[in-house]
Amino acid sequence: MTRLNDLFQTEGQSPWLDNLRRSWLESGELADWVTKGVRGITSNPSIFEKAMADTDDYDHEFKELIASGKDVTECYWDLVITDILGALEVLKPVYESSNGTDGFVSVEVDPRLARDTSGTLDSARSLHKRINKPNVLIKIPATKESIPPVQTMISEGRSVNVTLIFSLSRYVEVMEAYISGLENSSGDLSKISSVASFFISRTDTEVDRRLDEIGSQKATDLKGQAAVALGQAAYSLFKETFSGPRWEALESRGARVQRPLWASTSTKNPSYVDTLYVDTLIGPNTVNTLPNTTIEAFEDHGTVARTVDANSSKAEKILSEISSLGIDLEEVGDVLETEGIDSFITSFENLIESLSIKASSF
């Protein structure tokens, strides 16, 4: 029994792997991760940049695609979808044995469309139709412009991973989009799934920087606490939202809760415990998507216990104290959202450039 299995079986949290590469599919390593307790997979442009640009694993298929007359961007999506389809097949037994609760693989729309409402919706629909598997989640960023496509996708019966959530106010909007989408759907609600990806570690990186600028003892004492407190506050909102008459009416039609997914859970500050963002956010109806290095650390010395709502009042106190120092956590969320989108766009464009260079050498 692994700690990953314990997370799910004793505390109701689903550990997902935040990584995907062609060699893992071909060698069986991805299947090994599933055997160890991984119950889903997430991908993003940065992950594919590392996988494709730093290895020659994709060169054979890429060369064939270029020879067929496709342009580099079309080739990129073909390569991505080949990986996604392979991963979906590996996770299919988990999807079936969990009755559609887990076994998902996430693939992100073109990050350059994050501020384009119609472009995001068109891209999301196209990806969903092209992959056409029940256990795929289409990743849509939680920007103001992309919230309406989330609602539309859900109303059309398409499962979604809403990503790049950094603030409590935006998280409320994401949950509302999901619930409204379900209310507008005439289909089988039990076939619709969604997770809301709340990014964790980047919050500490930005808030700690601002606390350092303040420089007081109180500010120093609060370092490394904002991200976990924000995640725990988000979980309180989750429990509040997915209860009561409005939700019960949807639940009676077979609807599933939109689980909070803790993303960006590797510690960026080497002085923090490397399992900080796992140990402190464990609880039922949640997902934690972990890089393989963080999984290895958690397996070695992580702690399995329900912690995400063990002390909600402490989380509220920490957030209040941070705000009292003049740090606006909503503004922090806006900054991190922009940085997150820019980072994914950079990864996407760098990869297209790398592939273009490769193509010119064929």
Per residue in 95-139, pLDDT (tens digit) is 999 999 999 999 999 999 999 999 999 999 999 999 999 999 999
Domains of the chain in start order, with CATH, are: 3-361 (3.20.20.70)
Report, as an integer, the average pLDDT of 309-322: 97
Provide the pLDDT for residue 139.
98
The answer to whether 223 and 203 have CB atoms below 8 angstroms apart is no
DSSP codes joined into one string, 126-184: HHHHHH--TTEEEEEE--GGGHHHHHHHHHTT--EEEEEE-SHHHHHHHHHHHHHHHHT
Residues present in the chain in total: 362
Q: Whole-angstrom Cα distance, residue 120 to residue 347?
A: 18
Bridge partners of 70? Answer: none
Provide the pLDDT for residue 16.
98
Catalytic residues: 139
User: With 80 as the cut, is the pLDDT of residue 1 above it?
Assistant: no
The answer to whether 2 and 249 have CB atoms below 8 angstroms apart is no
Per residue in 15-69, pLDDT (tens digit) is 999 999 999 999 999 999 999 999 999 999 999 999 998 889 999 999 999 999 9
The answer to whether 113 and 86 have CB atoms below 8 angstroms apart is no
Q: Whole-angstrom Cα distance, residue 249 to residue 245?
A: 6
**Chain centroid, CA 213 distance in Å:** 30
The answer to whether 292 and 20 have CB atoms below 8 angstroms apart is no
Provide the pLDDT for residue 362.
80
Residue 200, helix vs strand vs coil: coil
Which parts of the chain are beta strand (E)? 13-17, 40-41, 104-108, 136-141, 160-165, 194-199, 259-263, 286-290
Provide the pLDDT for residue 252.
98
The dihedrals phi and psi of 103, each to the nearest 5 degrees, come to 90, 20
Q: Whole-angstrom Cα distance, residue 104 to residue 101?
A: 8
Provide the pLDDT for residue 176.
98
Q: What is the DSSP letter of 110?
A: P
Per residue in 181-205, pLDDT (tens digit) is 999 999 999 999 999 999 999 999 9
Per residue in 255-304, pLDDT (tens digit) is 999 999 999 999 999 999 999 999 999 999 999 999 999 999 999 999 99
Q: Whole-angstrom Cα distance, residue 223 to residue 211?
A: 7
Per residue in 110-119, pLDDT (tens digit) is 999 999 999 9
Q: In terms of C-beta density within 10 A (0-12 exposed, 13-18 middle, 19 or more buried), how is residue 235 classed?
A: buried
Candidate from 56-60, 219-223, 283-287, 316-320 with smallest mean pLDDT: 56-60
User: With 90 as the cut, is the pLDDT of residue 153 above it?
Assistant: yes
- Enumerate residues 6+ apart whose C-beta is below 8 A from 94: 34, 39, 40, 102, 103
Please give the mean pLDDT across all residues of the chain.
Answer: 97
User: With 90 as the cut, is the pLDDT of residue 326 above it?
Assistant: yes
Provide the pLDDT for residue 269.
94
The token duo for 157 is 């019966």
Task: Determine how β-strand 194-199 pairs with β-strand 160-165.
Answer: parallel
Provide the pLDDT for residue 361.
85
Q: Whole-model pTM?
A: 0.96
Provide the pLDDT for residue 146.
98
Provide the pLDDT for residue 53.
84
339: left (phi over 0), alpha (psi -120 to 50) or beta: alpha
Q: Whole-angstrom Cα distance, residue 311 to residue 315?
A: 7
Provide the pLDDT for residue 307.
98
Per residue in 343-358, pLDDT (tens digit) is 999 999 999 999 999 9
The answer to whether 188 and 251 have CB atoms below 8 angstroms apart is no
Report, as an integer, the average pLDDT of 228-233: 98
